Structure formats: structure tokens, C-alpha cells
Amino acid sequence: MDLGLKGKKAFVGGSSRGLGFATARILAEEGCQIVLNGRDSGKLNQAAAKIINDTGEKASFVVGDAADLDQPKKLIQEAVEILGGLDLLVTNTGGPPVGKFESFDEKTWQRAINLAFMSHVRLINNALPYLKESSHASVVTVTSYSVKQPIPNLVLSNSIRSATIGLTKTLALELGSDGIRFNSILPGWTKTERVVEIMQHRAKVNKSTVEEEIKKITAASPLGRMGTPDEIGRAAAFLLSPAASYITGVMLTVDGGMYKGTM
């Protein structure tokens, strides 16, 4: 299937590694012009070079932390200057710290809110004027299947990412008349650096090994394994694409069947 993405202009947040990088690379494979984003210029340079080498498409990057109050405006403006407009927006960030409710003070909660919720709000808010000018505007927020099935020791993520789901659904309703689609990807356990960090925390708490903790996760999967970043990226690329032109307000769980609910 031709997704109809060739020539589309895309900003992908949190894309120096993991799910964001995989999404950016797959969009480039489909012919998109890409601007990556992250906090580390060295990692971004490497990521952009790999995308160019793998796909032959142009990939640029802008450096900055989307969790900072003033950064999203600058990031979007720089991306639009590079791309000459904006059609696609992927709001993706790293996850908040691992731990239980009583281990976090209010400052940690506020930092986590900025990271896992307000970054989405600010990126979308600053991108809207440019998206309204596009004939194929589409936004994908990246959250977690924990918004449907809370994950132990991830109280910050479980709580705050749910707000992004509410935001995504509301904007799909409010801005559909402007021709902008909003959807969310809810990844399950996926082989990323973030998941390795979580497994390391669990191994420490449970006095086990990372390998043993990974086996516990895969044993609960109907497919018997974790996902790969590319599998998440392909789902995101479809939702962003004109091939999904009648899909908006969808919270797509991509978890290999680990979520046990029916809704």
C-alpha cells in the first residue's frame, strides 16, 4: 500500500533514539522530509546521518528540550524554517522516573507533568498555525498502554499519560473541522533503552537479573515477545498518513495483545 506520505513535512519529537527514531526513519522511508528533535546534538547528528544513509531522504534536526516552557515554540519555528511548512507532528518524549507513589515529592510530579503532558500541549499549540495551512495535517501523540492497564512502579507515567489521551481525543473533536486529525499510539513493552532502564530498576528491587525480568514480561505476551521500535513506528506512520484519512480520535494499543481488556 502506498501511504501517500511522499513529500510530507514532519517533525518528530524525542527522535534521537527509541520509538521516536524508528518513527522518523520509517516516515523517511515513505518519502517524508524529516526534522528530528532531542536534547543531545551529538546523538541527533548520528540519528540524522543514519536516516539519510538508510533511506536516501533528507533528515535535519533541532536541539532542545520539549519539557522546558520556552523550548517548544523555538523548536517548531526552527523546524518550519527548515521544512518550509508542516504537515505531520509526532509528540513523543522520554518517560518519567520509575517508582511508587510515596517515593516522589511534588517537584518530581511537576517535572513529570512537564515532560509527559505539557510537552505535548506546547508542541501542538505552537504547531497549530502551520498545521492549519496543510491539506494533510495529522498529529500522533505517543503515550503508553499503561493508560488502559497501569504498570507497577510507574505511577507517574500511569497517571500523567492519561491526560495526553484526554487531550488527543478532545483535539480530534475540536479541530476536525480544520482538517487536522489527532490520534495516539499506546505502545506496550518494546525493546528500547527506556525499557532496559525499567528492567534494571525491577531487577534491583526484586534482587533478580534484567534477563529474568524480561522473561516475566514476555511470558505475559500472547506473542511471547516484546515489540520492536519499528513495529511501533509503522503503526504511527499509518495513522499519520493520508491512507488513514478517516481515522481520528483513535487510541491505538500496539502491545502484542498484552492489554487484557476489551475496550
Kindly list the distances between the CA atom of residue 236 and the CA atoms of 125, 175, 181, 218, 240, in Å, as whole numbers in the listed order: 20, 20, 13, 23, 6
- The pLDDT value recorded for residue 210 is 87
Same domain? 121 vs 199: no
Q: Are residues 195 and 86 in the same domain?
A: no
Specify if 1 maps to a domain. Answer: no
- Do 136 and 208 lie in a common domain? no
Q: Residue 143 belongs to a domain with what CATH number?
A: 3.40.50.720
Residues of the chain with pLDDT > 70: what percent? 100
Residue 224 above 80 pLDDT?
A: yes
pLDDT (tens digit per residue) in 134-191? 999 999 999 999 999 898 889 999 999 999 999 999 999 999 999 999 999 999 989 8
**Neighbouring residues of 200: CB distance < 8 A, sequence distance ≥ 6:** 210
Residue 31 lies in a domain: yes
The total number of structural domains in the chain stands at 2
* Residue 3 belongs to a domain: no
Q: Do both 205 and 103 map to the same domain?
A: no
Give a yes or no: residue 66 inside a domain. yes
Same domain, 14 and 75: yes
Domain of residue 214 covers 191-226
254 residue type, one letter: V
Q: Is the same domain home to 237 and 247?
A: yes
Q: Is residue 263, in this structure, part of any structural domain at all?
A: no
In a shared domain, residues 166 and 129: yes
Q: Say yes or no: 30 and 56 in one domain.
A: yes
Q: Is residue 233 part of a domain?
A: yes
C-alpha to C-alpha distances, 252 to 11, 26, 97, 140, nearest whole angstrom: 20, 18, 24, 10
Interval 150-160: pLDDT, tens? 988 899 999 99
